Structure 1
Amino acid sequence: MDTTTAIEIADAVRSGTLTAADVVESYLAEIDARETDIHAFNLVLADVARERAADVDAQVAAGADPGPLAGVPVALKDNLCTRGIPTTCSSKILGDWKPPYDATVVTRLRDAGAIVVGKTNLDEFAMGSSTENSAFGPTRNPRDTSRVPGGSSGGSAAAVAAGFAPLSLGSDTGGSIRQPAALCGTVGVKPTYGAVSRLGLIAFGSSLDQIGPFATTVEDAALALEVISGHDPSDSTSIEQPSLDLRVALDQGVDGLRIGRITDLPSGASPDVEARLDAAFDALAAAGAKIVDVEVPAFGYGLTAYYLIAPAEASSNLARFDGVRFGSRVNAPDTNQMYMATRTEGFGDEVKRRIMLGTYALSAGYYDAYYGRAQKVRRLIARDFATAYADVDVLLTPASPTVAFEIGDKASDPLAMYLCDTYTIPSNLSGDPGMSVPFGTGDGGMPIGVQVLAPALEDATMFRAAAELERAADGGAS
C-alpha cells in the first residue's frame, strides 16, 4: 500500500480510491508478520476492525463522509476503556475486565472514522519506562528487538514504529509518550493538561496524566490531537475550549521564533543525544529562529518531586482494585485477608513499590515533610517555566538521556530506570505541553528524539517548531 500516513489513508478512503477494508487487511498482515517478535499488543481486534471497516466503506458508498480519520487504523494503549473489550492495564488484577463504556478519546476517534485494531502493551498501570513491567511480558523495540521500546506506552510506540498502525494513543504521566517515541523513532505528543479528556483513562496520577498520540509524521500527530482534544463536560479537569487547531501552524516556519536553550539543564544525556540536540538548535537557527539562553533552576528537582507526587496519587487511585468491585479476586477466610491476597497476587513488583512509597509519603507525620514539600517544588517548577517562557516561545531538550537500552539492562535498578524520565517529568508537573520529534540516530543506529516544550495552551506553537525540526531531519539529519 503506497499510502502510509494517516492523512493519505483518510483522503484515499474518503475519495473512494482505497477501501477501508483493504487498509485494515494490509495492516493486519503486518501485525501477523511481526507481532510475535515485538509483542506490541495485548489484544489484536481483527474481527472488530474488519466489521468497522465495512461500516466505513458503506458510509463512503452512500455518499457520506466518515470523518477526517476515515479508515485509519489506530492502536490504543490498554489503559483506555473500550466498551465490551478487555482493558487490563497489563495487570493480572484486572484480568479480562470489560468496561461498560468507551473512553471519550475512543468515542472521538470512532466519530472521526478511525478503526481500532488492538489494545497495546504497557508497563503495568503505566508505571515504568521500558514496558518490561507488564504482566504479559515485555514489548521489544522494532528497530532492534534486543532493546526496549521505552515506556510506559511502549506498545503504542512500537505499534507505530513497526507499521502495525499509522496512529496510536498513549498516556503520559511523567514522559510515557515522549520517551518511547524518542526510543522508537516516532512522533509522540503530550498536550497541555486538560486539553484532552481523561474520561475512561484508568488513572495513575490524576493531576499528571494526559492522553496523546503517536504518529510517523508531525502532521498526522496534529490531526489525531485535533480529533481527540476539546472540552468534555464529563471530565472536571477538561479545559473549556474547542478542539485544538494545530495543522494551520505547520507551514508557518520558525522565522523570528524564540527557541530557548536551558543552560542549567540537568546533566546525564549521552554524547550522541547532546550532539543531536545541538544539531537541532543549529537547524532551527538556520531556518530563521532566534536561539536564546534561559535558566529553569527547578528543572532538576522534577524527578524527586514526581516520585513523591505520582506514587501518592497512585496509592489513592489503585485502592479501588481490591477484589470486590471488579477485576480478579483471591478467596480468603475474611475480607482483610482477601484484600491482601488479591493485591499481593494481582499487582507486580513495581506497582507494589510505588503504592508503598505513596502511602508512606501520605502517612501521618510524613505528609508535610514529603508530599507537601514535593507540591511546593512543583509550584517552583511551574514558576521557573513561566519565567523562561516570558523570554522564549518554546524550549528544546533531549526527550530521553540515551538511545534505547538492552532489555534487562535496568530492570533490577529502579533508580536507574527512573532517570530515563529526567527531561520529560517537569512538564507533567507544570501541565505544559511537550512532544518528541525524531531527529537522527545515535549509538547503534538507534533513533534519537528532540523534545519541544511550550507554555500551556501553546500547543500550536510547539507543533510549529516540531514541523521545522521534521523538515530539517528529512533534509539529512543523521
Structure 2
Amino acid sequence: MPDLPLNLASLRAAYAAGVSPAEVVAAVYRRIEALGDPGIFIHLRPEAELLAEAAALPPFQAAGGLPLWGVPFAIKDNIDLAGAPTTAACPAYAYEPAADAFCVARLRRAGALAIGKTNLDQFATGLVGVRSPFPPPLNALDPAMAPGGSSSGSAVAVAQGLVTFALGTDTAGSGRVPAALNNIVGLKPSLGLISNGGVVPACRSLDTVSLFALTVEDAWRALAVAAGYDPADPWSRRLPLRGPAAPAGRFRVGVPAPASRRFFGDAVQAGSFAAGLERIAALGGELVELDFEPFYEVAALLYDGPWVAERYTVVEPLLQSDPEALHPVTRQVIAKAEGFSAADTFRASYRLAGLKRRIEPLLDGLDLLCVPTIPGFCSLAELAADPIGPNSRLGTYTNFVNLLDLCGIAVPIAPRADGRPGSLTLLARAGRDHLAAGLAARLHAEAGVTAGVTGGATGWPLSPAEPPAAVAAEDEIALAVVGAHMTGLPLNGDLTRLGARFLSRTRTAPCYRLYALPGGPPFKPGLVRSEQGGAIEIEVWALPESAFGAFMRTVPQPLGIGTLSLEDGSQVKGFLCEPVAVEGARDITGFGGWRAYLAEAASPAAAAP
C-alpha cells in the first residue's frame, strides 16, 4: 500500500485484487503525515470520518454505477464542501456551507472521497501560489520554485501522490500554471460545462472549476462526472461532452509565430516549446504560425482593465470593514477596481469585441491552438523581490483564454534541457474539449514521462500509455449491447437516432452464455447469465438519460435491460434475455460474440449442404 499509485487504473486494479477503500484512505493520511508540508491543506477532514465514509461504500462488485468508487480527491478552498469551512484563504471571510458545491455533490455521489480543502492564492487572485495567510505549499519538484496558483494546494496534492485528482478553479490560468510547475495535467473545461454553484467567485463571468490529475484519462473521467447543466447557475451551459478524440488524419494547429513568442529571456523554455511542436507535427499536425499580438492584448484586459471590478464585488464588504484581513498583494490588485468607472467597463467591452473580431479569422480552419503553458519558471526569491511582475509573466499564455471562450488542457511533455518539466497547453473553441484532451493524451503517452513527483511520497514512474477512455456523463446511461444494436448492424440506428454515442468495445465477465434466438430478420442473440459461461464481446454506448424510456419501447420480449458485469470488474446496464426463451435455441457462446457468429453463418462452408 505505501507505494500504490493513485491513478485510476492502479486504484481499480488494487480494488479488484481485494484492497479496500478504507486501506487507501489510511495510506493517504500516512502519506500526508510523512510529507510534512502544512501548506497543502487548509482543512483536512478527520481520518475517522473518511474511514467511516469509505466503509459505507457498497461492495466493489456492486459498484458499477459509481464510476469514482473509492477515489480520493481534494477540493480547492473556494469550493464548498459540507461540514468544512470555506475560507478562500481568508479566515475573516470564512463561512460554513450547508451543502456541497454542485460539482462536489456529483463527484461524491459517484463514490469519490473528499479528503479536504486545499490552499490557494487568496480569493483565487494570483498565479504564484504564495498569496495566502497560511503557509504556502512547496513546489512538488523544487521547493525553491513557486508552486503556481491560484490552485496551488490542489496541484501539489496531486503531484505528491496524495489524491487521484483535485478540483481547482481557473479564471486567468489557475488550473494550468500550477500543472506546468508541478509536472501534472491541468484541464480547464469550457466555461459553463461545470457548474459554479457553491464556488466563491473570482470573476463570475469568466470562472470555471478545473481539474488536476496525473493523466489526461483521470482528469477526463473526473470531468465526465463533475460536468452537468445546473439550472440554478446562470452561467451554466448545455455543452456536448464527447469522449476524448484527437483530430483524425492531418489536423491544423495554430501556434504563435516565432516573432511573437514571449519567453522573457528563457531560451531553455523556448527550446522546450519548439521541441513540443515538433512532436505535434510528427503526430500529423500541420503547424500554422499566427501573429499572437491580439491574444496578448486580450490578456492585458483581464487585470489592467475593469474586469478586476468583478473581483471587487466579492470582497467589497471586507475591504470596507476590515481591509487588513486581506493579503497585502491581493488587496493591492483588487483595490485597482476603485479607479474604474462604468464608462471604462463599456469601453473595455468594446475593445474586447474588436479584438475578438480580429482573432476570429485567425481561428478559421484550425482544429486547435498550442501555446506554452508558462513562459518560464518563477522562484520564491523573485517573488519576494517583486510580487507582481513574475505573476504577470506567468499569465502570458493563459489570461486571454476565458475572455475568448476557449477550453484548454495543460499536459506534461519531455523535460526541458535543464531537467525542469516541460508543458504545453492545447486550446480549442468552447464545446470542443474532447479534441484538446485527445491530442493531449497522445502527446503525454508519446513523451513517456513520469507524472507528478519522481522520488517523492510514492516515487512511482507513471507513463500514461493509453489514450483516455470515453465514459458516460452523469446525465447519460452506459448501455451494453450484444447483438443487432452494435455498430453497423441493423438496429444500431435505434441508438444513434436518440443521440447515443459509442464509448468502447469490450467483453463481459466470463459468466454469460449467448444464444441465437429464432425469428428475424433482424436476427438477434439472447444473453443469459450462467456460472458455466464465457466472456462475450459487447459494445458500450452512452444513451442520454432522457431518451432511455423511448429506447425501452423498442426492446421486445423476451429481451430486457439488466445489469451486466464486465471483464474489468465494472458493471453497466445492458441487454439480457429471459432464460425460458433460449430453450432449444442454438448456443453460440463458443464464438465469443454475435459478430463472429454472423461471420461464420455467412461463410461458404456454412451455406454448403
TM-score range, shorter chain: 0.7 to 0.9
Aligned partner of residue 375 in structure 2, secondary structure: coil
Task: Give the Cα–Cα distance (whole angstroms) in 2 for the partners of residues 84 and 475 of structure 1.
Answer: 38
Secondary structure of 2:401's partner? helix
Residue 197 of structure 2: which of 193, 196, 199 is its match? 199
1:358 aligned partner: 337
1:302-321 pair list within 5 angstroms: 302-307=298-303, 308-319=305-316, 321=317
Q: Using the alignment, how far apart are the partners of 1:372 and 1:159 within structure 2? A: 41
* Cross-structure match for 1:450: 424
Task: Check 1:472–1:271 CA distance in 2 against 1; reply closer, same or farther (3 A cut).
Answer: farther
Q: In 1, distance between residues paired with 2:429 and 2:415?
A: 28
2:360 equivalent in structure 1? 386
Give distance in 2, aligned partners of 1:108 and 1:282.
Answer: 39
Matched-pair contact (CA < 8 Å) for 1:67–1:111: yes
> The residue matched to 1:379 in structure 2 has which SS?
helix
Deviates more, 1:202-211 or 1:263-272: 263-272
Match of 1:48 in 2: 49
Which among 391, 406, 418 is matched to residue 432 of structure 1?
406
In the other structure, the counterpart of 1:88 is: 87
Cα deviation, residue 245, structure 1: 2.7
Cα pair 1:156 1:170 within 8 Å, conserved: yes
The structural deviation recorded for 1:3 is 5.1
How far apart are 1:457 and its partner, in Å?
A: 0.7
Which residue type is aligned with residue 74 of structure 2? A
1:382–1:429 contact (8 Å) kept in structure 2: no
Question: Secondary structure of 1:99's match?
Answer: coil
Aligned to 2:28: 27
Q: Aligned letter for 1:37?
A: D
Gaps of 5+ in 1: 323-338
- From the superposition, tell whether residues 259 and 65 of structure 1 become closer, same or farther in structure 2 (CA, over 3 Å): same
Q: Which moved more, 1:69-78 or 1:443-452?
A: 443-452
Q: How far off its partner does 1:406 sit? A: 3.0
Equivalent in the alignment of 2:232? 234
In 1: Cα distance, 2:137 partner to 2:306 partner: 27
**Contact 2:88/2:120 (<8 A) preserved:** yes
Q: Residue 22 of structure 1: CA displacement? A: 1.3
Matched, 1:268 2:226: no
Aligned pair partner of 1:465 in 421, 431, 439: 439
Shift of 1:13: 6.6
Partner Cα distance (1:238, 1:460) in 2: 19
Quick check: 208-217 or 307-316, which moved more? 307-316
Change in Cα spacing, 1:407 to 1:161, as seen in structure 2 (3 Å) is farther
Q: Highest relative contact order (Cα 8 Å, sep 6+), 1 or 2?
A: 1
**Cα shift readout 1:298-333 (whole Å, capped 9, x = no counterpart):** 1111332001243110111223x44xxxxxxxxxxx
Distance (Å, rounded) in 1 between the aligned partners of 2:238 and 2:247: 29
* Cα separation, 2, equivalents of 1:98 and 1:104: 16
Residue number in structure 1 paired with 2:281:
285
**Offset at residue 9 of structure 1 (A):** 4.7
Of residues 398, 402, 415 in structure 1, which corresponds to 2:376?
402
Q: 1:211 and 1:411 mapped to 2: Cα distance?
A: 31
- CA gap of 1:476–1:358, structure 2 versus 1, over 3 A, is closer
For residues 259 and 233 of structure 1, do their structure 2 counterparts lie closer, same or farther at Cα, with a shift above 3 Å needed? same
Give the Cα separation in 2 of the matches to 1:426 and 1:173: 9
Q: Where does residue 212 of structure 1 map in the other structure?
A: 210
- Measured after TM superposition, the shift of residue 76 of structure 1 is 0.5
Tell me the matched-pair count.
Answer: 446
Instruction: Give the 5 Å matches for 1:247-262.
Output: 247=244, 249=245, 252=246, 255-262=249-256
| 1:265–1:300 CA contact under 8 A, matched in 2 | no
Label 1:351 to 1:83 Cα distance change in 2 as closer, same or farther (>3 A). Answer: same
Amino acid of the structure 2 residue aligned with 1:32:
E
8 Å Cα contact 1:14-1:66 kept in structure 2: no
The code of the aligned residue for 2:109 comes to: D
Q: Deviations over 1:336-383 (max 9, x none)?
A: xxx74x422321212322332112113xxxx33x43332233224433
Q: Which amino acid aligns with 1:313?
A: E
Pair member with larger Rg: 2
Match of 1:69 in 2: 68
8 Å contact 1:397–1:452 — kept in the other structure? yes
3-state secondary structure, aligned to 1:426: coil
Q: Matches of 2:248 and 2:49 in 1, distance apart?
A: 43
Matched-pair contact (CA < 8 Å) for 1:393–1:454: yes
Greater Cα shift, 413-422 or 387-396: 413-422
Question: For 1:137 and 1:94, how far apart are their aligned partners in 2?
Answer: 18
The answer on whether the counterparts of 1:151 and 1:179 sit within 8 Å (CA) in structure 2 is yes
Counterpart of 1:333 in structure 2 is none
Q: Are the structure 2 counterparts of residues 64 and 185 from structure 1 closer, same or farther at C-alpha, using a change threshold of 3 Å?
A: closer
Name which of structure 1's ranges 450-459 and 372-381 shifts more when overlaid on structure 2.
372-381
Separation in 1, partners of 2:30, 2:306: 43
Q: Deviations over 1:25-57 (max 9, x none)?
A: 1221111111x336211122133322221122x
Which has the larger share of strand? 2
Which residue identity lines up with residue 20 of structure 2 in the other structure?
T
Sort the Cα spacing of 1:20 and 1:475 in 2 relative to 1 into closer, same or farther, 3 A: closer
Give the 3-state SS of the residue equivalent to 2:141 in structure 1: coil
Q: Deviations over 1:170-216 (max 9, x none)?
A: 00010011011001111001111111100011001011111010000
Q: 1:356 to 1:64 in 2, by over 3 A?
A: closer
Report if aligned partners of 2:263, 2:270 keep a CA contact under 8 Å in 1: no
5+ residue gaps, structure 2: 452-609
Report the secondary structure of 2:397's partner residue.
coil
More displaced 10-residue stretch of structure 1: 171-180 or 376-385: 376-385
Q: Which moved more, 1:458-467 or 1:307-316?
A: 307-316
Q: Which residue of 1 aligns with 2:582?
A: none
Give me the whole-angstrom Cα distance separating, in 2, the residues matched to 1:403 and 1:440. Answer: 16
Aligned-residue offset at 1:281: 1.3
Give the Cα–Cα distance (whole angstroms) in 2 for the partners of residues 456 and 411 of structure 1: 38
Displacement after TM superposition at 1:294 (Å): 2.8
Measure, in 1, the Cα distance between the counterparts of 2:275 and 2:450. Answer: 11
Provide the TM-score with structure 2 as the length reference.
0.69
- The residue type paired with residue 144 of structure 1 is D
> Residue 171 of structure 2 aligns with which residue?
173
CA 1:384–1:112: 2 relative to 1, 3 Å:
farther
Q: Does 1:7 align with 2:29?
A: no
For residues 290 and 444 of structure 1, do their structure 2 counterparts lie closer, same or farther at Cα, with a shift above 3 Å needed?
A: closer
Give the whole-Å Cα distance in 1 for the aligned partners of 2:365 and 2:60.
53
Match of 1:373 among 333, 344, 347: 347
Aligned-partner SS, 1:442: coil
Q: Distance in 1 between matches of 2:389 and 2:169?
A: 22
Aligned to 1:325: none
Could you tell me the TM-score, scaled by structure 1's length?
0.87
Contact preservation (8 Å) 2:369, 2:427: yes
